[in-house]
Chains A and B, each alone.
Chain A
Amino acid sequence: MAEFSAEVFQNEFLSDGATDVHAIVSVTCTGAGTADKGAAAGASPGTSGVAEIIAVDTSGSMQGRNMEAAKHAAAVAVEQIPDGTLFAIIGGSHVASRVFPYPNARVPMVAMEPGARNEAKRAISTMSASGGTAISTWLRLADDLFATVPVAQKHLILLTDGKNESEPSLHLDQMIVNVMGNFQCDARGVGDRWVVEELRKISTALLGTVDLIARPEDIAEDFAALVQKSMARGVAAVDLRVWAPQGSRVLFVKQVAPEVDDLTGRRTEVNPLTSAYPTGAWADETRDYHVAVRVASKPVGSEQLAARVQVAVGGEVAASGLVKAKWTDDSTLTARISPEVAHYTGQAELASAIQEGLAAKAAGDEATATVKLGRAVQLAAETGNEEATSRLRKIVEVENEEEGTVRLKRNTAKLDEMALDTASTKTTRVRRA
């Protein structure tokens, strides 16, 4: 049986008149692999309670090396999908088509078994590249297929190499809203002609990740890892719940590790004082959340519970952490800054500095880009994010790391910018003594 625990890191002491309470809540799941997914989901015998779809871009631009690599990757992924998992393969261009089960098959998804695995690989080998790119049609087909299977955990791997150019972006936005909450999606871009922001929109809304695969030959390895990761997630549909007291306001709820993801806008109401934020399925892992609540100030000496942060699985609270506020006039207590809160505040700012800097650079606003990316260099150094530092150094010449003064490099590789962009939300964990 999977178990959750929640640990709170904060400085609970507030000075007289202060109202804002910040805390990092570290949520850890253990035993996810042992969860009985089939029984929990009421799936039919012989199936595992997990459904997996792989959608591969088959637009004309994929022609050649990319298409061959993608086909190879899809075949590798099929190898990784364990028996009993319901699966399907989608080929996507300006329209989406079901590659496997074959279009004429009676069932929309089939349970993996050796025969199906061989047949799926044969189907994948027949895919060919032609047409445009309309990703909304891929999402709709995936949603239609997932809708036919009664399992709790549904995961889509989406691979593209190009821009979503065969439809107005409004179509994609609308489709994302339509399918939100129905399944999770990890999006991958290969090469340098796709748009990071486009895929990030999809993966963020669908509780997944976005990443760049620079070389086609790396697709297979990445797909294998994604399938394994998806299979390790034994607990579906986990909500983060935040209770805040009467008269208070939740300023924001952000996932800050392993990646920055602002959950604030995904709030649903459990009751007038409690909000729920979907976090998707969980494997054995730890995710950190930054919760900020504004409460009414109380007299010095008072104590107040500022938030109950809970993990809810299937509507049942599985773990709970308490965020407190204590008002004091002892400045040695209030001056202490929680190292966890400081670290992740910096990491979140780092992510937005990188994204805003790259956006400004793309728009030709070099002044803003220089300031933002300079700030990013400074933050990456301060928070010890060496990966971000090395990626930033490919885009800018650093004059002074501590002060954040940089010059934009000329003739940088587009791939380097995209790599920096996609990795911007990845955070380093705070070093704990």
Chain B
Amino acid sequence: MTSPDERKETYPDMSADDGTLVRCPNCGENAAPRARFCENCGTPLGATNGDPSVPSEVTLEGAPLVVDPDPASGESRAQRSCAACGGVIAPDGYCSDCGTPGQSERDHFEERPAGWVAGVCDRGVRHARNEDAMALAASSNFAALVVCDGVSSAPDSDIASLAASRAARDVLVAYGPEGTSPVEGATSRRIAGWTDAMVAASRAAGQAVRGVAEQLAATNGKDAADDPPSCTFVAAVVDDDLIVAGWVGDSRVYWLPDSGQAEQLSVDDSWAQEMIAAGVPRAQAETSPQAHAITRWLGPDAPDTDARCAATVPSEPGWLLVCSDGLWNYCSDAHEMSDLVRRFATSGDPQTASAALVRWANAQGGRDNITAALARVAPSVPEQR
């Protein structure tokens, strides 16, 4: 078993995966690779580095508002294939073989920024819309995984959650090794640096949600202002030998080492968690009718949007899982989650495994939107790319 340090030595070229720096066409500021918006002036950069699995933004009245994650290429998606049977989705929106409704890009999308990092975001079975969102970025020894879960009671939370997750990801990338203000130094210094970065990311995400809310209020009037969109926030950063998690709400980060103790790094900001803290058994608290009431969230009516953070320095390889409650509702306990992930991750491929987790949650009933993003944190990681 090799340590994460050796991994870095073996593969020193960290920029190979993400290509060159992007320069803002408006103000000339250098932006982080994969950045969607200029950090300085907010101009949409629109660079997707040719990765078709990464949805692009569509601006609404000039603001960085994600409304429809069609591929930036503008290519026709006439030949969409059916998620259920693989058949062709007809122009009427249903599969021409089995009649299953075709999924929009927003209903089901996958990202795979590097061979060791991938995730799947899915509408599930019961909900009409996918209000979960996910934004991933990765190079050879750095990854940022962000998941936001839109609050279903508020309309347009799907737009808010996608804007939030991407804003947060872009902030985290800026703090990454190829970013404009990289977190550097010894482990303890970097933990402090990433804690700051997480707070900056959650604030940017919160700002993005407020931006969506303002635009909707401007477009739709009073109703939109009365019931503003909101979402949860959870992010995890893998910075070489360090994992840092940050969250607002009840979306989760699990660290699932191959042989050691599985743990949930995040601590839900939820009514259920408060009950657990007060001594109510976890199973009882999580199945109570109010279990899903969250005590913190992102949105115009949120009291604060600063992420709470936790860090760990893994001593052995394992899986880092960032997910929404659409998954963990069916498998909350960290040890059970570890068994589940291991069951689906036999190939070592995070994309196969995250897709399998989503399918599994759908098979359990798919009562909520489901997002599962995985990073394989292992000495052998770079060889898999």
Binding site for B on A (CB under 8 A): 244-248, 273, 295, 299-306, 308, 320, 322
In the complex, the chain A residue whose C-beta lies closest to that of B365 is: A299
Please indicate which of the listed interface residues A273, A305, A306, A320 has the most CB atoms of chain B within 10 Å of its own CB.
A305
Q: Contact check: which of A246, A248, A301, A320 meets B85 at CB < 8 Å?
A: A246
In the complex, the chain B residue whose C-beta lies closest to that of A244 is: B99
Q: Contact between B99 and A305 (Cβ–Cβ < 8 Å)? A: yes
Q: Contact between B85 and A304 (Cβ–Cβ < 8 Å)? A: no
In the complex, A306→B126 CA distance in Å?
A: 19
Mind listing 8 A-B residue pairs with CB under 8 Å? A245-B97, A245-B99, A248-B99, A300-B126, A301-B127, A304-B98, A308-B92, A322-B94
Mark each residue of chain B from 119 to 144: 1 if its CB lies under 8 Å from any CB of chain A, else 0.
00000111100000000000000000
Residues of A within 8 A of B366 (CB): 299, 301
Residues of A within 8 A of B98 (CB): 245-247, 304
Interface residues of B in 101-134 (CB under 8 A from A): 101, 124-127
Interface residues of B in 74-103 (CB under 8 A from A): 85, 90, 92, 94-101
Q: Contact check: which of B85, B96, B101 meets A303 at CB < 8 Å?
A: B101
Assess A305 versus B126: contact at CB under 8 Å? Given A246-B85, A299-B365.
no
Residues of B within 8 A of A300 (CB): 125-126
Residues of B within 8 A of A248 (CB): 99
Shortest Cβ gap from A39 to chain B (Å): 29
Q: Contact between B97 and A246 (Cβ–Cβ < 8 Å)? A: yes
Shortest Cβ gap from B53 to chain A (Å): 25
Q: Contact between B125 and A302 (Cβ–Cβ < 8 Å)? A: yes
Residues of B within 8 A of A322 (CB): 92, 94
Shortest Cβ gap from B249 to chain A (Å): 24
In the complex, A306→B94 CA distance in Å?
A: 10
Shortest Cβ gap from B37 to chain A (Å): 36
In the complex, A248→B126 CA distance in Å?
A: 23
Residues of B within 8 A of A308 (CB): 90, 92, 94
In the complex, the chain B residue whose C-beta lies closest to that of A328 is: B126
Shortest Cβ gap from A21 to chain B (Å): 10
In the complex, A299→B98 CA distance in Å?
A: 15
B contact face: mostly helix, strand, loop, or mixed: loop
Q: Contact check: which of A244, A273, A301, A304 meets B100 at CB < 8 Å?
A: A304
Q: Contact check: which of A299, A305, A320 meets B101 at CB < 8 Å?
A: A305
Q: Contact check: which of B90, B99, B127 meets A304 at CB < 8 Å?
A: B99
Q: Contact check: which of A247, A299, A301, A305 meets B95 at CB < 8 Å?
A: A305
In the complex, A299→B85 CA distance in Å?
A: 16
Residues of A within 8 A of B127 (CB): 301
Shortest Cβ gap from B118 to chain A (Å): 26
Shortest Cβ gap from B200 to chain A (Å): 38
Apart from A244-B99, A246-B98, A303-B100, list 19 A-B contacts with CB within 8 A.
Answer: A245-B95, A245-B97, A245-B98, A246-B85, A247-B98, A295-B99, A300-B125, A301-B125, A301-B127, A301-B365, A301-B367, A304-B98, A304-B100, A305-B94, A305-B99, A305-B100, A308-B94, A320-B92, A322-B94
Residues of B within 8 A of A306 (CB): 99
Q: Contact between B97 and A273 (Cβ–Cβ < 8 Å)? A: yes
Shortest Cβ gap from B103 to chain A (Å): 11
Residues of A within 8 A of B97 (CB): 245-246, 273
In the complex, A301→B125 CA distance in Å?
A: 6
Residues of A within 8 A of B99 (CB): 244-246, 248, 295, 304-306
Q: Contact between B92 and A301 (Cβ–Cβ < 8 Å)? A: no
In the complex, A247→B97 CA distance in Å?
A: 9
In the complex, A365→B353 CA distance in Å?
A: 70
In the complex, A259→B30 CA distance in Å?
A: 74
Q: Contact check: which of B94, B100, B125 meets A299 at CB < 8 Å?
A: B125
Shortest Cβ gap from A306 to chain B (Å): 7
Residues of A within 8 A of B365 (CB): 299, 301
In the complex, A246→B99 CA distance in Å?
A: 8
In the complex, the chain B residue whose C-beta lies closest to that of A303 is: B101
In the complex, A120→B302 CA distance in Å?
A: 90
In the complex, the chain B residue whose C-beta lies closest to that of A306 is: B99
Shortest Cβ gap from A17 to chain B (Å): 15
Shortest Cβ gap from A250 to chain B (Å): 13
In the complex, the chain B residue whose C-beta lies closest to that of A245 is: B99
In the complex, A244→B99 CA distance in Å?
A: 8
In the complex, A300→B90 CA distance in Å?
A: 24
In the complex, the chain A residue whose C-beta lies closest to that of B100 is: A304
| Across the A-B interface, the 10 shortest Cβ-Cβ residue pairs | A305-B99, A245-B99, A301-B126, A305-B94, A301-B125, A246-B98, A304-B99, A245-B98, A246-B97, A303-B101
In the complex, A409→B97 CA distance in Å?
A: 55
Mark each residue of chain B from 148 to 176: 1 if its CB lies under 8 Å from any CB of chain A, else 0.
00000000000000000000000000000
In the complex, A244→B97 CA distance in Å?
A: 8
Mark each residue of chain B from 335 to 350: 1 if its CB lies under 8 Å from any CB of chain A, else 0.
0000000000000000
In the complex, the chain A residue whose C-beta lies closest to that of B367 is: A301
